[in-house]
């Protein structure tokens, strides 16, 4: 089984962010796109060929929904690297958990942790498989379980606000799993991230995580070739 994925490059828009993070995010996002396509999935990139989206973060959120309305996605993967003040190491995925948090894009239904069960499954599987494929640890502090963080545990959520990417995309949560993936800490995991082949290994972990949720039924390019022989 193959799914349709929209990859978003964190901070690669006019709202911006940490320059060190912004510099390497395209390498991870493009590697993930290549590996997903090689595994037979449909993987689109929100940013243009220059790895840039010419609008604000709010515009990014609206653009995800606009594209979903043209042709739905099964998964949105918002790719980041962590850069917290404590240099906390480890890979983790953030799951929507927004009920009661303030947002400019309120959602009528519930977008609570307990309602986002498939998002949780993808978060666990992708974080664990990326840890295995890269040698990154699973983040263990400020998380629900190793490698899985609630939106409320983020710097934004703990101040009482929704992550914009989750606020805007709540409107399509009935179909689309939404994750923010933090592929290690820029400083705390610098040696691992800087090693040759890191991005390809991280991408292979993402594919393996998705395959785990789908029950290992993803049809790889290799098995397609073999089945034609
Ligand atoms: Zn970020």
State pLDDT tens for residues 40-94. 999 999 999 999 999 999 999 999 999 999 999 999 999 999 999 999 999 999 9
pLDDT at 1: 84
C-alpha 68 to ligand 1 mean position (Å):
23
Q: How far is the CA of 227 from the centre of ligand 1 (A)?
A: 41
CB 29 within 8 A of CB 203: no
Span from the CA of 226 to the centroid of ligand 1 (angstroms): 40
Question: How many domains does the structure of the chain reveal?
Answer: 1
Beta strands in the chain, from DSSP E residues, in sequence order:
4-9, 42-45, 75-82, 92-95, 148-150, 177-185
Please tell me the least confidently modeled range out of 102-111, 193-202, 218-227.
Answer: 218-227
Angle between helices 117-134 and 198-213 (to 10 degrees): 140
- CATH classification of the domain holding 34: 3.40.630.40
Q: How much is the pLDDT for 219?
A: 47
Task: Report whether 24 contacts 193 (CB < 8 A).
Answer: yes
State the distance from the centre of ligand 1 to the C-alpha of 141, rounded, in angstroms.
17
Structural domain of residue 195, as residue ranges?
4-228
Q: What is the 8-class DSSP label of residue 52?
A: -
pLDDT > 70 fraction of the chain, expressed in percent and rounded: 94
Confidence label for 226 from pLDDT (cuts 50, 70 and 90): very low
Per-residue pLDDT tens over the stretch 154-183: 999 999 999 999 999 999 999 999 999 999
Distance 218 CA to ligand 1 centre (A): 29
Cα(192) to centroid(ligand 1), Å = 18
Q: How far is the CA of 191 from the centre of ligand 1 (A)?
A: 19
């Amino acid at each position: 089984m193959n799914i349709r994925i929209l990859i978003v490059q964190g901070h690669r828009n006019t709202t911006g962010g940490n320059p060190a993070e912004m510099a390497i995010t395209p390498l991870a996002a493009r590697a993930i796109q290549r590996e997903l396509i090689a595994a037979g999935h449909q993987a689109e990139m929100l940013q243009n060929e220059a790895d840039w989206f010419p609008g604000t973060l709010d515009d990014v959120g609206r653009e995800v929904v606009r594209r979903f309305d043209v042709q739905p996605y099964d998964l949105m993967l918002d790719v980041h690297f962590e850069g917290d003040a404590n240099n906390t190491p480890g890979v983790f995925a953030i799951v929507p958990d927004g009920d009661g948090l303030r947002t400019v894009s309120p959602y009528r239904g519930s977008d609570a942790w307990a309602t986002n069960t498939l998002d949780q499954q993808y978060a666990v599987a992708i974080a664990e498989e990326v840890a295995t494929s890269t040698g990154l640890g699973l983040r263990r502090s400020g998380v629900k379980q190793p490698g899985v963080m609630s939106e409320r545990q983020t710097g934004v959520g703990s101040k009482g606000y929704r992550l914009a990417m989750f606020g805007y995309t709540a409107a399509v949560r009935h179909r689309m799993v939404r994750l923010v993936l933090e592929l290690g800490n820029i400083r705390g995991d610098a040696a691992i991230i800087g090693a040759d082949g890191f991005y390809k290994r991280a991408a292979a972990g993402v594919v393996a995580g998705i395959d785990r949720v789908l029950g290992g039924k993803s049809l790889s390019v290799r098995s397609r070739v073999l089945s034609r022989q």
